[in-house]
Structure formats: C-alpha cells, structure tokens
Amino acid sequence: MSLALFGCDEVIDLDPIDVSIPVESSVRPPPITGGTLVVLDNATAVAADPDRDVIHVVDLAFAEVLHTIALEPGDQPGRVVVSDSGLVHVVLRGYGGLATIDVDAGAVLSRTWLCTEPRGVAFNPDDATLHVACADGWLHQLDEDGASLGSTQLEPDLRDVMIVNGVVMASLFRKAAIVGVDGSRIELPPFGDHIPHVAWRTWVRPSGTIVMLHQLASTEPVPIEPDPEDIEVDGGTPYGGGGDPCTSGITGAAITTIFDGRTDTVPVSQSRLTVDAAASPSGEWIALAVPGAAAEEGTIRFQSTEFFECDPGARPDGDDGQVTAVAYSASGQLVAQSREPATITVFTDEPWGTRKVIKLNGEPRFDTGHEIFHRATSSGLSCASCHPEGTDDGHVWTFETLGDRRTQPLDVGLGDTAPFHWDGDMTDLTMIMDEVLSHRMGGDRQSSLRQASFQRWLFAQQRPPAGGDHEEPSQVSAGAQLFASYDCGRCHDGPALGGTITENVRGVRLQVPTLRRVSLHAPYMHDGRSGTLEAAIQDMVESTRGVTAPQADIDAIAAYLRTL
C-alpha cells in the first residue's frame, strides 16, 4: 500500500504486465524470414536453420537426422532449392551469397558471394540455371557450379524467384507485386479498403498458377488510440484485427492466386504473423506457418483451398513449437519446421493425421526479445506484422490526428536513432513499448528486465550497408562530395547519418531519418510521397535549399546513398 501525502492524480494501468524472467540466447536469433524448408522426392527434408547457422538433412521415413551441416557464423541460411542433379542450393542472407550442398554427403560444396542481401532462389530446369534475387533489385543467374551467367536489374526489394512458363519472375517483398525479366509486371488489386503488401512467400504450382502469401494493409484512417467504445475487457479491438472473424484489422495475412491474368485474393481470418505457406499435392489444402501465434494456439494452420473470407481454418492439437516453414512431400505429408525448439514435424495424412516429431541438433535459441517481437498480442498484431523481417513493410499508414506516416525500418542500428517515430516524440524504447506495443496493439506490458532484453535484441538487428555493388566508384565519390556541398550532413549527421534530431521541414517538425540502407527502404519521406531515391533527394534539396538540383547531381548523390 502507498500512502498519498499530497494531492495528486494516480493512473493505474490495467494492461497485464509480463514479469517472467527474460532469456537471452547465447547467439541472439535474427528476425524470422520463413520458408527455409524443402522436401526432396526421396522423402528427405532439407531445412535451413538461420538461428543456428546450420542445414539439417532429415530422413522423414525413418524420422532421423541424417546430417547437421554447419555453416559459418552469421551465414543465416534462408531459401532452399533443389536442382535436377540433386544438389541443394541455399541462400545465405548473412553471408550474401549461395551455398551448394551435397545432402548425401552432408557437405558444403561451394559458397558464392552475390550481393549484400540475397533473398530468393529458383532452379530453372529448362537450362539448369539458378536465379538468385537480391534486395537491391538485381537478379543473378548462375550455373550449378556457382559461375555467374549474368545479372539483370529489376526493382529493389526482390524476394522470391519463379519460373513461370519459362519466364523468370520475382516477387517484390513490400509491394507484393511480381516483375519479370521480360518486363512483365503483375500488380495485385486492392481488396476492399486494404491493399496487398509484404509478399512473404510466392510460388508456382504445376498448373502454372502463381500463389502468393502476403499481407493486407488497411488504407482507412488508423486511430492512434483505441476508441473507448471499442475497448473490451479482453483488449481486442478493430485496431489490431481481433474480434469479429469477418472483420479485417489494419493488417493480416491473405492468399492470392494468379492465373491467366486473373487474381483472386482471400484474407485469412483471424490471422497472426504468417510467414510461409504450402499447397498440398491434392490441391485441397494450404498449410500456413504462423510463428506469430501463441504456442497454445498452434503455429500451424490449415486452410481449405475452397475457404471463404470468414473461414477460421483448422488447427491440429498439440504444440509444434514455433513453426516458420512448411512443405508438402510428394505423397501428401506435411512437413513443418520449428525454429524453437528445433524440430521437424511430419503429419502423416492430409490434412494432418498423426504427428511425428523429429528433434534437430543445435543449441536452444529461445530469446525473450525475439519472442516479444514476433508473438501476437491479444489483438492479433505483433511487431513483425508491420516490421516484417525486422525492418519495415513500406506501407504508408494514415493515422488519425497525425496524417500519413510511413512505417520506419528497424534494421538500421536503431540504437543510434533516438528519439523515435517520425515526430520524435518517443524518447526511448520503453515509451514505444508502453505506447505502441501495449496501448495500441493490446500487448502485455513488459517488466523493465524484459524491456531491456528486448531493446538489446532489437538494437543488435542492424544489417550491413546496402553496398551499392553495381555503382561506379567515381559516381559514388562525386555523390559524396555533392552530399557535403548541398549541406545534407547538417541534419544527416552522426554515426547513422541522421536519426537523432528533429527539424522543421516544409513547416512540419519531423525527425531526420537515418540514411543507413536508405536505398532499400522506398518509398521515402514521412508520408511516402517520394517513390524513388532520386525523387526523395530532389524533394529534400528543394525543401531545404529552395533550388532544383541538376539531374546529374541527383544521380550522383543517389549512387552514393546506395552504398550506405
């Protein structure tokens, strides 16, 4: 009890507080990227494990681990593809290249550096070539030995690679669009007052139908605080997507099929952070990896391909860990990979049948910061819902009373960029956790120990500079000089080139964003009004100096910024 001696007001927060002891893994796991599993024809599963930097080779028939192939620390293996020769190729996000694996021998045959942030890979059986998509927009073509066959520049933010009727195509992560090397482009139409974004997984069925697991983002005004009328004892509100299963929240998962120019989008009812999907060979079921769901809810979900908007799907009973990848075998068995605990679960029948759990090798990677970031709050949202892969969704939200605000990236060394948010009104991460995670999203408040652990995990998720591997050094050098001559460094100062001060731009006081990895974070400005890096540079020159810069200067500065 406390005795009040002076007149004062006391506000007591009823939001539940999590006081459990935080756990920090010896190697703090990276944000979930999902889709790290492939099942070979001989009932062998190959699972990339970015948390432990290993490749697991598992015999599904005998339920045993054949090989645990160690990679270099920080390699962060991601997408996996098998070639006709039986070799397995794994994208190494942390390393920036591709590893070729002999699964029979359990050995790494080669490592090929490609770009700063490779994401997707596909094997084209027509010419036995590999295609690797990079976040910077370059699509690399290799042979199975790792020799480069050429590169094609598409758009930044490439994700998955598909061979569609012989044409190499790649999905765009934030825009949830598809671009082809032949110049083709597929845009998904809006779904009501939501637009598609964040294409977690895109693949092609044998029929030629493209299937995309993506998110839908609301274009309606988003309240800063929940409407008091919407506040319920259980905390669920339309802000977060909880409550009515037929009502989409501000963001949620959806599946879109694209065939012969037609698109069909169906939102996943009451979805959580969903990072991977696989269609059963019969075509009747789609399995979803839902690592954002609470363990008690189950992180595997099955949707009938005939599902409708309000269909809640089906969930097998039991704890399958935190599933981040799913794949079907040719015989129709679903194989699910859990990152923590590290397991492979095999469901014997369609849609699931009995369960067979295979424990994988490696240290535990349970981490409180990782948990807080990915697990859904009571409203259905998790941090990763708007910050997928630990960065941003590229969406411009319309907040009531604030206006348009583009989601800010988190993979830029966040510790160097306080205060936070575009208005600079969040002095530290504690304030953000209380205001955003708890109040807006309906999550538990966290004890100071857990907040500190979360902060350490989040601040450690800085990714390397974008690189600008394809930029002309002279152009980059000229751009650096122009950057200084235009006095850009007056605000974009410090180790993160910005992020620490609030300036008045066009009559609005806004935080100066960091320029780290700026080329990977389109659109630009607080309201996303600049779609390209060049447009953003011109906008800032006009805003701050009142002149229009020559296009040559803009191009040079853009080349310099692509190296950051």
460 CB neighbour count, 10 Å cutoff? 13
Q: Are 394 and 217 in contact (CB under 8 A)?
A: no
Smallest gap from residue 379 Cβ to other proteins (A): 9
CA dist 512 and 339 (Å) reads: 37
Nearest approach in angstroms of CB 270 to other proteins is: 7
Q: What is the CA radius of gyration of the chain?
A: 23
CB of 176: closest distance to other proteins in angstroms?
A: 26
Residues 6+ apart with CB under 8 A from 504: none
Question: Mask of contacts with other proteins, 294-333, x by CB under 8 A?
Answer: x-xx------------------------------------
Least distance in Å: CB of 28 to other proteins?
26
Name which of 41 and 225 has its Cβ closer to other proteins: 225
Closest distance to other proteins from the beta carbon of 552 (Å)? 50
- Position among 36, 100, 171, 237 found at the interface with other proteins (CB under 8 A): 237
The interface region with other proteins, picked from 233-241, 393-401, 509-517, 541-549 by CB under 8 A, is: 233-241
**How many of the chain's residues bind other proteins (CB under 8 A)?**
40
Tokens of 199: 């294409």
Contact (Cβ atoms closer than 8 angstroms) between residue 416 and residue 511? no
Site map 1..30 versus other proteins, x via CB under 8 A: xxxxxxxxxxxxxxxx--------------
Compute CA 503 distance to the chain's CA centroid, rounded to the nearest angstrom. 30
Instruction: Give strand pairing partners of 404.
Output: 398
365-424: contacts with other proteins (CB under 8 A): 378, 380
Residues 477-536, interacting with other proteins (CB under 8 A): none
Measured distance CA(101)–CA(122) in Å, rounded: 15
User: Nearest-CA neighbor of 90 among 59, 53, 127, 116?
Assistant: 53
Q: Can you spell out the DSSP letters for 499-539? A: SS-EEEETTEEEEPPP-TTGGGS-SBSTT--B-SHHHHHHH
The least distance separating other proteins from the CB of residue 109, rounded to whole angstroms, comes to 46
Q: What's the DSSP call for residue 408?
A: P
For residue 249 the two structure tokens come to 């929240």
The one-character DSSP state at 410 is S
Residue pair 81/122 in contact (Cβ under 8 Å)? The answer is yes
CA distance linking residue 416 with residue 403, whole number of Å = 26
Considering only residues 233, 260, 262, 401, which one is a binding residue for other proteins as defined by CB under 8 A? 233
Residue 16 CB, nearest approach to other proteins (Å) = 3
Q: Which residue in 244, 273, 259 sits closest to 390, CA to CA?
A: 273
Residue 2 vs 354, nearer CB to other proteins: 2
- Judged by CB under 8 A, the stretch of 25-33, 229-237, 339-347, 356-364 that binds other proteins is 229-237
- For residue 448, the Cα-to-chain-centroid distance in whole angstroms is 27
Residues 33, 72 contacting (CB under 8 angstroms): no
Identified binder of other proteins from the candidate list 118, 442, 499, 528, rule CB under 8 A: 442
Nearer to other proteins, 44 or 385 (CB): 385
Residue choice 70, 163, 231, 505 for contact with other proteins (CB under 8 A): 231
- 22, 226, 369, 424: residue in contact with other proteins (rule CB under 8 A): 226
CB of 426 to other proteins, least distance (A): 14
The smaller minimum CB distance to other proteins, of residues 436 and 476, is found at 436
Which is closer to other proteins, CB of 160 or CB of 371?
371
By beta-carbon proximity to other proteins, the closer residue of 50 and 235 is 235
Closest approach of Cβ 143 to other proteins, in Å? 49
Is 9 or 260 the residue whose CB approaches other proteins more closely?
A: 9
- Sketch the per residue contact string, 421 through 440, with other proteins: x for CB under 8 A, - otherwise: --------------x--xxx
Rounded Cα distance between 441 and 434, Å, is 10
Toward other proteins, which CB reaches closer, 29 or 240?
A: 240
Report which of 12, 382, 11, 389 is spatially closest to residue 201, judged by C-alpha positions.
389
Contact stretch for other proteins (CB under 8 A) within 34-42, 223-231, 333-341, 529-537: 223-231
Phi, psi of 252 (to 5 degrees): -170, 170
The one among 35, 96, 235, 313 contacting other proteins by CB under 8 A = 235
Question: Nearer to other proteins by C-beta: 3 or 21?
Answer: 3
CA 276-281-284 angle, 5° bins: 80
* Residue 243: CB minimum distance to other proteins, A: 7
**In the set 444, 471, 553, 555, which binds other proteins (CB under 8 A)?**
444
- Mind spelling out the 3-state secondary structure of 311-354? CCCECCCCCCCCEEEEEECCCCCEEEEECCCCEEEEECCCCCCC
Nearest approach in angstroms of CB 487 to other proteins is: 40
Give the tokens for residue 293: 């769901």
> With binding defined as CB under 8 A, does residue 291 bind other proteins?
no
Please check whether residue 441 is in contact with residue 240, taking contact to mean a CB–CB distance below 8 angstroms: yes
Which of residues 228 and 546 has its CB atom nearest to other proteins in the complex? 228
Token representation of residue 208: 């030629």
Compute the distance between CA of residue 209 and CA of residue 217 in angstroms, rounded to an integer: 24
Least distance CB 367 / other proteins (angstroms): 21
Q: Min. distance of Cβ 292 from other proteins in angstroms?
A: 13
Contacting residues toward other proteins, per CB under 8 A: 1-16, 225-228, 231, 233-237, 242-243, 270, 294, 296-297, 378, 380, 435, 438-440, 442, 444
